[in-house]
């Protein structure tokens, strides 16, 4: 079916003469395509175009700023809640010890000092043991073995350095 010129009339929203209107009416009775087009045009023309109310941009910006402030406040409150719950949990965990401490401070202080002394003396004993062991090892192993060990280590280090140097020197790609 030929939709011209009716399609063009409908799309361009042309002012029609009475003869053209009759012609269009006749075509629309038989053509669903142009009827749909005409209906769409009518719907579009009847749809009210709402102009933004005065000060729309300003209000939008204000609302955006308010939302940002609200979000910041929410974050702050979240942090406060987190901090308080953390402190509460810490207090709940340490409360028994604090109670014990305040009910018998002297015992606790002496216990703490005793523990501290125990740690210090243990560390001292440990370092002494280590020193003795080290001295034993150095006395046990003869000097020439030390020399062999040191030179072996030095040789290994040298080998390692050379291998890395060789590796990094390896030409990339094909060379003549
Ligand atoms: Zn048509």
pLDDT at 17 over 60: yes
Q: How confident is the model at residue 146, as a pLDDT?
A: 79
Q: How confident is the model at residue 47, as a pLDDT?
A: 74
Q: Which residues contact 27 (CB under 8 A, 6 or more apart)?
A: 3, 6, 34
43 C-alpha to ligand 1 centroid (Å): 18
Residues 42-96: pLDDT tens digits?
A: 777 777 777 777 788 888 889 999 999 999 999 999 999 999 999 999 988 888 8
CA–CA distance, 159 with 114 (Å, rounded to integer): 53
pLDDT at 163 over 60: yes
9 C-alpha to ligand 1 centroid (Å): 11
**Averaged confidence pLDDT in the chain:** 85
pLDDT at 176 over 60: no
* Short-list 24, 29, 30, 41, CA closest to 1: 30
* Short-list 17, 41, 20, 46, CA closest to 6: 20
* 16 SS3 class: coil
3 C-alpha to ligand 1 centroid (Å): 4
More confident residue, 101 or 59: 59
CA–CA distance, 45 with 39 (Å, rounded to integer): 10
7 C-alpha to ligand 1 centroid (Å): 6
CA–CA distance, 149 with 172 (Å, rounded to integer): 37
8 C-alpha to ligand 1 centroid (Å): 10
47 C-alpha to ligand 1 centroid (Å): 24
Q: How confident is the model at residue 124, as a pLDDT?
A: 93
Q: What is the mean pLDDT of residues 29-36?
A: 88
2 C-alpha to ligand 1 centroid (Å): 6
49 C-alpha to ligand 1 centroid (Å): 28
Q: How confident is the model at residue 155, as a pLDDT?
A: 92
29 C-alpha to ligand 1 centroid (Å): 9
Q: Mean pLDDT highest for which of 9-13, 100-104, 125-129, 135-139?
A: 125-129
160 C-alpha to ligand 1 centroid (Å): 88
Confidence band, pLDDT 50/70/90 cuts, at residue 145: confident
Q: Domain limits of the chain?
A: 6-44, 79-166
List the end-to-end C-alpha distance of the chain, in Å, as a whole number.
Answer: 78
59 C-alpha to ligand 1 centroid (Å): 47
Q: The pTM is what? A: 0.28
Q: Which residues contact 100 (CB under 8 A, 6 or more apart)?
A: 108
């Amino acid at each position: 079916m030929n939709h011209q010129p009716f399609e063009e009339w409908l799309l361009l929203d042309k002012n029609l003469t009475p003869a053209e209107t009759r012609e269009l009416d006749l075509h629309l009775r038989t053509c669903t395509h142009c009827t749909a087009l005409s209906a769409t045009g009518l719907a579009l023309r009847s749809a009210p175009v709402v102009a933004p109310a005065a000060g729309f941009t300003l209000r939008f910006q204000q609302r955006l700023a308010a939302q940002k402030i609200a979000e910041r406040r929410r974050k702050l409150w979240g942090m406060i809640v987190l901090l308080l719950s953390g402190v509460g949990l810490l207090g709940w965990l340490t409360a028994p010890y604090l109670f014990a401490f305040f009910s018998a401070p002297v015992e606790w202080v002496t216990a703490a000092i005793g523990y501290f002394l125990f740690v210090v003396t243990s560390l001292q004993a440990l370092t002494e043991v280590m020193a003795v062991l080290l001295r034993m090892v150095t006395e046990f192993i003869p000097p020439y073995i030390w020399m062999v060990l040191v030179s072996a280590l030095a040789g290994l280090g040298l080998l390692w350095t050379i291998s890395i140097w060789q590796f990094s020197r390896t030409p990339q790609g094909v060379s003549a």
